[in-house]
A = this chain, B = another copy of it.
Amino acid sequence: MSSLLEIFGQGHNAYFSNGPITRLSFIRLNNQLLDKASTHPSAKYLTFNELNPLRSPDGKLAFSRYEDVASAIGRPYAKDEKTQIAEFNPADHHPTLIFLGLDLEDKSATTGENVQLGQYSGVPYFALDVSPNHYAAFKESQATAGLKYVPTRIDLTLDHPQAAIYSHARSLIDWNNRNRYCSSCGGRMLSTHGGAKVVCPPADNGVLRQRACPTRIGLHNQAFPRTDPTAVIAPISADGKRVLLGRGKRWPANYFSCLSGFIEPGESIETATRREAYEETGVHIDRVQIHSSQPWPYPSTMLIGVIGQCVEGGESITYPETELEEAKWFELAEIEHALNNGANPMWEPPIKGYTGPRVPPSQLTAHQVLRGVLRLFHK
């Protein structure tokens, strides 16, 4: 065989990722290109109020134009990073604004209306946090136009392309808002690189800070957006015939999903899988295979679906120190039936007429990694 497709089968297109926007990350470093993109008539701004995106009455994301927000944000990329650092004043309004990238295929603008950034032409996308009072006039105008910021806990209703834009935008707005102060020295931070980096300026409004900050020299990872890798684990029995699922303490009756846990520093995905499965259920996993991944914008988790196979005799459930209400081995045929007939979000009522174990819907890694188990072991 000469292709990954033949060997591993079709990959799946994970929800919350793989949208229409090309990030073109090198454009972030160029304030002149960002200035051109952000002020262009074709630019689309997705605004967030308290992390909820603006929506039209049909529930779709609603985009605004630069002229709608111009009076509130001015020209945020007019000056280069060096000048912005030199002139930094924490008392000024610094918009939480993210350059998401270009849609190179957008047909809504004719060629003449697309923005040209170096060799790339397309429709630029930005995300903007309008939670501060500063944006009261803008928010009022949008409400008048029938657009709303609807509070949503976890949104699985957007179509795939919009879900990817939302995921990217929400995670970065949240990260910027959580990083207003430097974790190394406590000084106010400046958001730069189109919202994809924060820097710690040496002075506030011209007054030099007292504390030396280690982030001003060398490579410092706290300056860049974080993602938190989390293993979503499907343990299978040594004979490959059963899969272990768990039920959290506050979950609805009969709702089961994969085990999961954050991957810690000094752990591989594989060792974290073994530790988490052991800590939560007492089972002993040996060989681990990573299946696929998905971003999860609450706030910026990276879900990594893994399959782990128990050693012979390692399937006993003992709950050493569990966060689970229950863990249970299922036959693969029962899981197949559940994925096909009983898969929906736990915050919705069970599907009518379905009485088997409930499982997560297809938008979630847990569902996809179980599909992967079936593909490999359920012939």
Contacts and interface: CB of A to CB of B under 8 A. Distances in A.
A330 B210 CA distance: 53
Give 3 closest A-B pairs by Cβ, nearest first. A168-B266, A171-B265, A2-B240
Interface string A307-334: 1110000000000110000000000000
Given A2-B240, A172-B265, A186-B186, 17 more contacts: A2-B239, A4-B287, A5-B287, A8-B287, A14-B270, A25-B279, A168-B264, A180-B184, A221-B226, A221-B228, A226-B228, A226-B265, A227-B263, A267-B295, A268-B292, A269-B292, A290-B293
Contacts of A295: 265-268
Contact of A265 (B227, B291, B307): B227
A224 interface: yes
Interface string A204-242: 000000000010000011101111110000001011110
A288 interface: yes
Interface of A: 1-5, 7-8, 10-11, 14, 16-18, 22-26, 119, 164, 167-169, 171-172, 175, 178-189, 196, 214, 220-222, 224-229, 236, 238-241, 262-271, 275, 279, 287-295, 297, 299-302, 304, 307-309, 320-321, 376-377
B178 A4 contact: no
A196 to B, nearest CB: 8
A265 B127 CA distance: 14
B4 A300 contact: no
Nearest to A118: B321
Most chain B beta-carbon neighbours within 10 Å: one of A22, A188, A267: A267
Copies, count: 2
A321 B28 CA distance: 12
Contacts of A263: 227, 302
Given A183-B183, A228-B221, A264 B23 contact: yes
A3 B265 contact: no
Contacts of A297: 265-266
Contact of A178 (B1, B7, B184, B239): B184
